[in-house]
Amino acid sequence: MDSLVASNIRQRPTRTLISVAGVALGVLLVVLNTGLVEGMLNDRIRRERGIGAEIQFGREASMLSPSSSNPVDVRYAGRLRRIQGVKQVSPVGYYVQSGNSGLGIEIVEGVEFDSYAAITGIKIVEGRAFQADDDVLIDEFKATHGKLKVGSEIQVFGKMMKVAGIYSPQVGSRIKLSLGALQRALGAENKCFSILVKVNDPDKQTEVQQRINDELPGNKVILTRELGLDFGREIPGIKGFVRAVLALSIVVSSLVILLAMYTTITERTREIGILKSLGAPKRYIIGVIEKEALAISLIGVVVGLVLAVIAGWALERATTLQLEFHWSWLLRAALIGLGAGALGALYPAVRAANQDAVKALSYE
């Protein structure tokens, strides 16, 4: 290809490589972060929805953003059980710790095994239920990805605990211990995060929800099926986080392209003068530089997407993190990469187009 754009890209491999890396980094940031947010959240939503309880009772905090503060008195369980239409209740406590791989967070649930198993249908497929405060249960996913088995030790509350059993199917968090052990460890006696409520007739869950609201006002009573309908609203700050990542990637990609193109334009001052002497109007010169930036950005987008897929695969293999690449985010990441490239090249392009032709021609 004997065009100015293609030949410039080929003739300046270091500049091209750095620019491609900058755009790829921006794309990687967007795809990986949104992939992680969506993957982790959707994984959690799937496990929460499969919990078997039609209703979850708690405080104003979102049911999808658990914290180690357990604000609900477990004595609500008794009052809930007496409400018409309620079949079974089970209080659940939460403890949030950093992931064992050092990445992300991990939620540890404290449960009363019998009532919890009655609602969720979980079964011990290996080992036994917890008996002591330092016994934990893990699900099959955690066992496989964490290379854990019955008798292995994992860190909870900053100390080593023993895997007493492995359960199936995957519901709720991946690590569970007894609610009593969790309360004692957190110094939160008689407290839990939420109470799972199973109703007699799933078709009448809305009526039961209304009755709970009437009898126990001031609490958060949500239908499990509605969890995650708007994930941006479910977890406070998630939209802000995603926006921050988008802004950061735009800034990184734009700056790299701006610096690369600015340097290139300075190097090519004489060539800009030649273009002007040939009668190239400003829009032509801007077009040449923008086309070059877009071509570089396109390569960067492709590299970024490929790297993101590879990094996602590696992360899923090495950790328990879940990633989901949605086509709309891949498209947005690509558009961000191209847009940032075009934006970054705009100032150098306009500057080049406005250069004095005679001075540019005499540039050494």
Partner 1 sequence: MDAILKTENLVMTYRQGKVDVHALRGVNLTVGRGEFVAIMGPSGCGKSTMLHILGGLLKPTAGKVLVDGEDMAAMGDAGRTDVRRRKIGFVFQRFNLFPTLSAEGNLKLAEDIHGNGGKGADAETRREVLRMLRLENKMRHKPLELSGGEQQRVAIARAIINRPAIILADEPTGNLDSENSEIVLEMLQKLNRELKQTIVMITHNPEAAAVAARTIEMRDGMIVGER
Q: Does 10 bind partner 1 (CB under 8 A)?
A: yes
User: Smallest Cα–Cα separation from 222: which of 113, 61, 86, 69?
Assistant: 61
Cα separations in angstroms, 197 against 86, 209, 222, 313, 326: 7, 10, 10, 37, 33
Contacts of 265 (CB under 8 A, 6+ apart): 272, 289, 348, 349, 351, 352
The amino acid occupying position 13 is: P
The answer to whether the peptide bond before residue 281 is cis (omega within 30 degrees of 0) is: no
H helix intervals, 149-281: 179-186, 205-215, 231-234, 238-267, 269-277
Q: CB–CB of 323/315 below 8 Å?
A: yes
- By CB under 8 A, which span of 68-76, 175-183, 253-261, 272-280 interacts with partner 1? 272-280
Residue 15 interacts with partner 1 (CB under 8 A): yes or no: no
189 binds partner 1 (CB under 8 A): no
Does 284 bind partner 1 (CB under 8 A)? Our answer is yes
Q: Tell whether residue 17 is a contact of partner 1 (CB under 8 A).
A: no
Which residue of 8, 19, 320, 322 would you call a contact of partner 1, by CB under 8 A? Answer: 8
| Region of 114-122, 162-170, 231-239, 275-283 interacting with partner 1 (CB under 8 A) | 275-283
Segment interacting with partner 1 (CB under 8 A) among 67-75, 235-243, 244-252, 274-282: 274-282
Q: Which listed residue (26, 39, 273, 341) binds partner 1 by CB under 8 A?
A: 273
Instruction: Give the residue, chosen from 31, 138, 275, 315, that forms a contact with partner 1 under the rule CB under 8 A.
Output: 275
Tell me whether residue 190 or residue 266 sits nearer to partner 1 (CB atom).
266
Min. distance of Cβ 306 from partner 1 in angstroms?
28
- Can you tell me which of 11, 189, 214, 218 binds partner 1, judged by CB under 8 A? 11
Residue among 154 and 280 whose Cβ is closer to partner 1:
280
- Contact between 282 and partner 1 by CB under 8 A: the answer reads yes
- In 235-364, which residue ranges form alpha helices assigned H by DSSP? 238-267, 269-277, 282-318, 327-353, 357-361
Distances 235 to 37, 170, 175 between C-alpha atoms, Å: 11, 22, 21
Q: Give least dist CB 42 to partner 1, A.
A: 49
Q: Which of 186, 163, 150, 167 is nearest to 67 (CA)?
A: 186
Minimum distance of partner 1 from residue 1's CB (angstroms)? 10
Backbone angles phi, psi at 9, to 5 degrees: -65, -45
Task: Output phi, psi for 288, to 5 deg.
Answer: -60, -45
Identify the CA nearest to 238 among candidates 84, 8, 36: 36
CB of 254 to partner 1, least distance (A): 26
What is the Cα–Cα distance from 45 to 238, expressed in whole angstroms? 15
Beta carbon nearer to partner 1, 229 or 278: 278
Regarding 274 and contact with partner 1 (CB under 8 A), the answer is: yes
Number of residues that bind partner 1 (CB under 8 A): 23
Shortest distance (Å) from residue 21 CB to partner 1? 22
Interface segment toward partner 1; rule CB under 8 A; list 94-102, 237-245, 268-276, 308-316: 268-276
Whether the Cβ atoms of residue 110 and residue 95 lie closer than 8 Å to each other: yes
Per CB under 8 A, 349 contacts partner 1: no
Does 279 contact partner 1 by CB under 8 A? yes
Task: Compute the least distance from the CB of residue 11 to partner 1, in Å.
Answer: 5
Q: For residues 342 and 103, what is the distance between their CA atoms, to the nearest angstrom?
A: 34
| 190 belongs to the binding site for partner 1 (CB under 8 A) | no
- Chain contacts with partner 1 (rule: CB under 8 A): 2-4, 7-8, 10-11, 270-271, 273-282, 284, 357-358, 361
